[in-house]
Amino acid sequence: MVKRGVPGCPRYCNNCKLDCTCEQCGYCHSCQTSTAYSVGGTNHLWRHNCTGPDQAKTKTDHDRSVGKFLRETSDRFAQYCVSEVYTIKIGEDKKYFIHSEALRQTSPVMKKHIELEMKEKTSKTIEFKDIVDNDVAFILFIQFSYFGTYGYDDSEKEDALHVHAMVYVFAEKFEVLELKSLALKKATSLCSKAITDTSATSLIKVLQFILPETIPIIYNSTYDPNTGKYPSTITESADKDAISISTTSRDGFRMLLAKFAAHNIDSLRRNESFMSVLQEQPAFSADVLLFTGASTGFKTDGKGCLEF
């Protein structure tokens, strides 16, 4: 067994040269003894007992995830902070100052705008007056650019589903696939909790209220050539010896809204705003029919994606 703090240790800390990095959180405690970090509103000290079996059992998963997040964020910040700061104008009066590398690394569309600005001008200013019409989604995009995630998970916020939809549309427009996937998973988690958690009665009422405003955002801003078609179909061969599953590509957020609406159709049909949306959005109406009366339930897989 290699002794901690010996250069031959594979986890030897080259910074303080006194210790090895912790197997739980990935950081050297000799370097971080006076530092604290905050997660979920709770302060945690870096220094803890790494030798006790009970301590290791209760801390391992949490500290590893926190350590991984901090390492990735630290590396990302180190790369971004040496790049130039650009001014991004949204609308007539909103200005945001962002490191160019944060934009370049996150969005191919942003990268093109920055490279064009570098060739043609020296003002380091990019205007998105017509392209970006929602500053909330843009702020969350900035958050994602720096931290790899965004914080809008409070299920008590009445516009949470609406905001996730706006982030989803923004991410598609700016080709940020990871952000698009994240927004869909957050929205799916929200809808799933409202349906499966029997104590979340107020949440489902909130989602039903905001649903009519959310549907046009998705159906007017996303492209799906397979409207009215089920995502997957199971068929048997003529001799019934084989089963084949055909998959049809569908927009994930469209399917989420349609399935959520179908699951709550009895109460939603008494909502005048929802009934108006059914008339104004025939593509949505066709998708709702796919799930109306279906016995598939509202389930998600291990990755937080909706199952069909």
Element (H, E) at 218: helix 201-221
Question: CA 297 to CA 205: how far, in whole Å?
Answer: 19
Average pLDDT over residues 112-125: 83
Q: What is residue 24's predicted lDDT score, i.e. its pLDDT?
A: 64
Question: CA 221 to CA 82: how far, in whole Å?
Answer: 36
Average pLDDT over residues 8-21: 75
Average pLDDT over residues 282-296: 86
SS3 content of the chain, % helix, strand, coil (to 5): 50, 10, 40
- Which parts of 24-154 are beta strand (E)? 36-39, 42-45, 85-90, 94-99, 125-127
Question: CA 2 to CA 177: how far, in whole Å?
Answer: 43
Indicate the pLDDT class of residue 39, thresholds 50, 70 and 90: very low
> Does residue 207 register a pLDDT over 80?
yes
More confident residue, 301 or 103: 103
Residues 265-285 pLDDT 10s? 999 999 999 999 999 999 999
> Does residue 40 register a pLDDT over 50?
no
Which pTM does this prediction carry?
0.72
Average pLDDT over residues 57-75: 61
> Does residue 185 register a pLDDT over 90?
yes
Q: What is residue 296's predicted lDDT score, i.e. its pLDDT?
A: 62
Question: CA 169 to CA 175: how far, in whole Å?
Answer: 10
Question: CA 143 to CA 131: how far, in whole Å?
Answer: 19
Residues 253-266 pLDDT 10s? 999 999 999 999 99
Calculate the average pLDDT of the chain: 79
Q: What is residue 111's predicted lDDT score, i.e. its pLDDT?
A: 93
> Does residue 129 register a pLDDT over 70?
yes
- Give which of 279, 184, 264 is closest to 222, Cα–Cα: 184
> Does residue 184 register a pLDDT over 90?
yes
SS3 21: coil
> Does residue 203 register a pLDDT over 90?
no
Residue pair 83/100 in contact (Cβ under 8 Å)? The answer is yes
Q: What is residue 140's predicted lDDT score, i.e. its pLDDT?
A: 95
Average pLDDT over residues 115-130: 81
Indicate the pLDDT class of residue 46, thresholds 50, 70 and 90: very low
Question: CA 152 to CA 161: how far, in whole Å?
Answer: 10
Average pLDDT over residues 296-307: 77
More confident residue, 194 or 120: 194
Three-state secondary structure readout of 244-306: EEEECCCCHHHHHHHHHHHHCHHHHCCCHHHHHHHHHCHHHHHHHHHHCCCCCCCCECCCCCE
Residue pair 158/190 in contact (Cβ under 8 Å)? The answer is no
Q: What is residue 14's predicted lDDT score, i.e. its pLDDT?
A: 75
282-291 and 272-280 helices cross at what angle (nearest 10)? 110
For 55, the token pair is: 């301590």
Question: CA 173 to CA 180: how far, in whole Å?
Answer: 10
More confident residue, 83 or 74: 83
Question: CA 183 to CA 244: how far, in whole Å?
Answer: 31
User: What are the φ/ψ torsions at residue 201 (nearest 5 degrees)?
Assistant: -65, -35
Average pLDDT over residues 211-220: 95
Average pLDDT over residues 102-106: 93
More confident residue, 245 or 136: 136
Average pLDDT over residues 132-159: 84
Q: What is residue 77's predicted lDDT score, i.e. its pLDDT?
A: 79
Average pLDDT over residues 109-131: 83
Q: Which residues partner with 126 through β-bridges?
A: 88
